[in-house]
Structure 1
Amino acid sequence: MTDGPWHHRHRVAVDVAIAVAFVLLDTGTTLIGASWWPDRPDTLAWVVLGVQALACASLAFRRVAPLTVVGVLGAFTVAVTLLISPAGALTPAHDTNVWAPYATVVAAYGPFFHQQNRRTAFLALAAFTLVIMRPWEPSVTVMTIGLLRTAVGPLLALYFDARRRIVLALLERAERAERERHLLTEQARAEERARLAGEMHDVVTHRVSLMVLQAGALRVTARDEETRQAAEELRAAGCQALEELRDLVGILRTTPEGDRTPSVGGFADLVAESTAVGTPTELIEDGDPALASPVVGRTAYRVLREALTNVHKHAPGARVTVRVRYDQAQVRLTVLNTPPADGASSALADTGSGLGIAHLRRRMELVHGTLRAGPRPDGGFGVEATLPAYVPTAESAV
């Protein structure tokens, strides 16, 4: 498994290869008279040629010490220039050549690409350019070639550095977008889990509590011991299921699209179910149920379901009166129950999450309604919900 291209994983080998290549290039071009080489080379010329090879070899350190490489090649160029004039120790075959080796092109590249301080890089490049151009010996050819020698490298360095920064910025932006997408996905999952937990509280708890009540009634009315035992086991299993559901209930914060919760038309079914399990319930409706918009109807249904579930848990044997009034402006739902029969207590009283009313209050806030719940002077309990008759949604606009 690799971590990148070969030349990125073997930077030292690449730099050494570049240094060797320029040692050979500058030595060869010097010997054929493309630089400072004299017609009749003496010992000094051969020594200078060796020093030039060492100076070009410094390119092997162009990444770790770019300014040092510039300084070495600049010092060599100054030394050759001084040996030619005014010392006169060397007499080039072609005095219009540039004395600096070709390795200066790569050396000028280094400070801009590998040096963090751009100001220092510019100062070093300016001094390097003056040494190579020899402005004290004005020559259009020498000055033009010298300027190109020191300009091409930095321009390439600036281009590649800008390109690198852009690529890094794009990669960072892509990674940030990926992280944001992941967070949005996790948020959507959390919201879906909360929605499912809320539905579990609203639906499963209601149905299981009805099952427990029916099992309790069967245990009391059964004629044989075997049936009573089976009813008791069923009742105990239902209570345990409700207790286990307690840790799974979440807070329902939004009304999801495609909600299939029954509306006001399901009130009669809830009342019938409550009566069937031994809690006499009366439904009184006043007005036209069609005045309630879909989301208002579903919210009112949830309020009634939760209120009846609480009666089954905490007030077994109580009588319940459900009043619903529909008008143009609002829907008012009132659920009143008497005290438990003979002070009886229910095994369901300690089950559930205890967050049912809190869930309902959040639902009511979403539709700009109000909910009041509390004990009554006669020992019973009352729940009163007031909702606006119409709440605009995409569903009601269809």
Structure 2
Amino acid sequence: MEHPWWRLLWNDRREAVFDIALVVGLHVFVWTLGRLYPEVSSPESYDWIGGLWLADILNTAFGIGLLVRRRYPMWLLWPAAAVSVAQALLIQFGPGPFMQVNLPSDPWAPGLTPLILYAAVVYQRRSRGQMWVLIGVVTAVCLRPWTFPDADTVLGGALWSIVPILLGLSALGLRDRAERAEREQELRAAQARADERARLAVEMHDVVTHRINLMVLQAGALAVAGEDPAVRRAADELRASGSQALAELRDLVGVLRRSETDPQEDRAETPESPPDLDELVAESQAVGMSVEYTVDGAAGPVTAAVARTAYRVVQEGLTNAHKHAPGAHVDVRVRYGDDRVRVLVRNTATDGPREHADSGGGVGLLGLQQRVELVGGTFRSGPVDGGPEGAGGFEVEAVLPGYVPTEESADA
């Protein structure tokens, strides 16, 4: 999505409205003063340049330039410094001023200098040294230290330069404190999430693992003591499924118990073989699905949590294709990189009947996304080519890290 044009200068509409209103208000204010006090300064002082036409152009340019003060404050500070120095040199050694000076003690700087200095202090983040040099030049022209002890000149110059600088430093300090408070709040929220993950891990370990262990033990006992071969086979399959569920649960609990801020470099890896998806694809092909399975890259070792998550992504993608796109062609692609695994399941569009489209709880993709994000991966699902579901097919994609530390891998 493209950003609106005003994003080039402002962060939100409130800033845009405020700055535009400021520029318009300043121009109206200056125009009103010119009508109320038309003879404040002597016109003869500017005869050498033909009047105040150059001052009017510069004041208008500086006024419009205030619109960029938040993003590009140096674009205003450089011209303000140049105009101030030129004004001082022309008054001291030349024919006279070209910017309007009402009283001899008035600062020899553009009328919008206070706003320009304030913007530079608050919004300039880079080249701060250069910024302070230019601010020093403008301040020296405003104060005119060579006129000491002219109190009126010093006071006027201080109000024109030092006061806005101090206000800018104060605003900058308030902003830094607000940003620091926001960062501290984010850290507290991250710690709260880590504590909640640890609590959930303990609860899962104490409740779910205990029950599954009992189920596995009972299934093992039934496989040994059962007289019917069919019962023994079923009990043995149940025991194997329970053992696999325990292994997956241990991985998930280990990931939950690892803090998001724990260092990664000292953890010992326990690599395993990449996920075996041939059997899963063969099962789908056996029920009549058209499935093409391709692998790109060298299938390096991955940790158990990544292997099982990749397996679940393919399993969920094939299940969704079977339920919502019967008769469609399905592409299953696994790409191995140096430190990540990319899994993609994409099915073409189909007009066949969707007999099982309403089956299931409807939260498979949401649960899969949470599982992928839990191990530090990214998940995406949606219609192909941005069309409505069923018009151009559907795809599920996950990018997983090659190594996800768990409690067991960290303690190995």
Q: TM-score, normalised by structure 1?
A: 0.48
User: Greater CA radius of gyration, 1 or 2?
Assistant: 1
